[in-house]
Amino acid sequence: MRFFERQDEARRETLRLVLLFAAAVAATVAGVHLALAACWLALSLLSPLALPFPRFFFTVNVGVTLLLILGGWWLEAASLRLPGAAQRLARRLGAREARPAVSADEQRLANIVDEICIAARMPRPEVMLMPRHQAINAFAAGWDVHDAVVAVTQGALEQLTREELQGLVAHECSHLHEGDTRLNMQLAGMVSGLELVWDFGATVRERGGVALLFGGAIMGMGAAGWYAGRLLQAAVSRQRELLADARAVQWTRSRDGLGGVLRKALTQRNEAQERPADPPLPGLVQHLLLLGPPAGKDGRLDAHPPLALRIERIYGRPMPPLPLPRPPAPVFHWA
């Protein structure tokens, strides 16, 4: 894997998508104004009286739409900027702090995070464990590198070798190093702002009469903007996953590390029926996870590239899944 080239590629693609996103927001604002103007013109043609555009028609349309989008974005993003927000989020998902002094596995995990932070030259994030999740997975969250969390599932701790765990931690640390959580949260905030435009249109429509027409116009534009925003947000997220994969290979200088994780994840997905299900993770955090849910029919809204593609990018060719180690006989731990 030519990891430096792959990283440049992913960065260029992200920039293009973010610019497109800004264009989509601008297009929504312009669309709302034009749709309302068209409705007004239609009305004035039908009515016997002359209906000039009201004063401040343009200013109010653009102002209110921008207020909705930016307000929604600000509200959504503000909750993540509070200190300790990443930890609280992790706890809500069932994570607890790793206890390196108590368990050998957790000692290993904490050591690996330290090692990767040396390779990446970044401050160490808080290390957490999700003890009730038996599937291989992990997530990283944090507004900046000084208030960040890396959490790993119990299943990953038990079923991965030391080298693989290194690859997994390196992938998550890349998300923190590159500020992906922040970018994702900003985009998610914008998307919810676009959703607000749609909501506002629905509220206007409830008044009935002529408002049906104007509300419908706002709803239509809001819906289009919202869908475009979700598409672009997912596309950005997929690029950041590929960037983090390339970063992990760069830092660990090993493709079998993260490659092994993804190949074991492939096995896990094939055997998903035979295993007890884990506690569900809310849709809000999907883009923070190492592995998303199985790809939908239409991959355009998935936050992760398909596993097979990620494996092929790492090895340069398709690779078969790796078998999972049998879980060891249960041992009683005094908690």
Partner 1 sequence: MSSTAWIILAVLACVAAWVVVTYNALVQKRNRIANAFGQIDVQLKRRYDLIPNLVEVARRYLAHEAQTLQAVASARGAAVDAAAAARARPADAAAVQGLAAAERVLGGSMGRLMAVVESYPELKADATMQSLAEELTSTENRIGFARQAYNDEVLAFNDAATQFPGNAVAGWFGMRPAAMLESTQGPQERQAPRVAF
Q: Does 111 bind partner 1 (CB under 8 A)?
A: yes
Task: State both tokens at 283.
Answer: 């849709």
In the complex, least distance from residue 247 CB atom to partner 1, rounded to whole angstroms: 12
**# chain residues binding partner 1, by CB under 8 A:** 16
Task: State both tokens at 298.
Answer: 């239409």
Among 112, 152, 168, 173, binds partner 1 (CB under 8 A): 112
Q: Does 158 bind partner 1 (CB under 8 A)?
A: no
Q: Does 118 bind partner 1 (CB under 8 A)?
A: yes
Q: Does 154 bind partner 1 (CB under 8 A)?
A: no
Q: Is the CB of 112 or the CB of 130 nearer to partner 1?
A: 112
Q: Does 333 bind partner 1 (CB under 8 A)?
A: no
**Please, are residues 104 and 127 in contact by the beta-carbon 8 Å criterion?**
no
Q: Does 212 bind partner 1 (CB under 8 A)?
A: no
Which residues in 85-104 contact partner 1 (CB under 8 A)? 104
Among 107, 154, 254, 267, binds partner 1 (CB under 8 A): 107
Per DSSP (E only), the strands in 131-202 are 138-142, 148-153
The phi and psi torsions of 316 (rounded to 5 degrees) equal 80, 0
Q: Does 8 bind partner 1 (CB under 8 A)?
A: no
Using DSSP's 3-state secondary structure scheme, residue 297 falls into coil
In the complex, least distance from residue 107 CB atom to partner 1, rounded to whole angstroms: 6
Q: Does 165 bind partner 1 (CB under 8 A)?
A: no
| Residue closest to 292 by CA, chosen among 256, 327, 267, 265 | 265
Binding string, 36-65, against partner 1, x = CB under 8 A? ------------------------------
What are the DSSP calls for 4-69, one per residue? HHHHHHHHHHHHHHHHHHHHHHHHHHHHHHHHHHHHHHHHHHHSSS--PPPTTHHHHHHHHHHHHH
Among 93, 116, 236, 303, binds partner 1 (CB under 8 A): 116
Among 52, 209, 253, 330, binds partner 1 (CB under 8 A): 253
- Token pair 């299943």 is found at 155
Residue 258 to residue 260: CA distance in whole angstroms: 5
Q: Does 335 bind partner 1 (CB under 8 A)?
A: no
Q: Does 326 bind partner 1 (CB under 8 A)?
A: no
In the complex, least distance from residue 110 CB atom to partner 1, rounded to whole angstroms: 9
Which residues in 232-251 contact partner 1 (CB under 8 A)? 251
- Token pair 């180690």 is found at 325
In the complex, least distance from residue 154 CB atom to partner 1, rounded to whole angstroms: 18
End-to-end, the C-alpha distance of the chain in Å comes to 43
Per DSSP (E only), the strands in the chain are 96-97, 126-130, 138-142, 148-153
Q: Does 114 bind partner 1 (CB under 8 A)?
A: yes
Q: Does 119 bind partner 1 (CB under 8 A)?
A: yes
Half-sphere exposure of 21 (CA within 13 A, CB side): 26
Q: Does 121 bind partner 1 (CB under 8 A)?
A: yes
Task: State both tokens at 231.
Answer: 């598409």
Contacts to partner 1 by CB under 8 A:
104, 107-108, 111-112, 114-116, 118-121, 162, 166, 251, 253
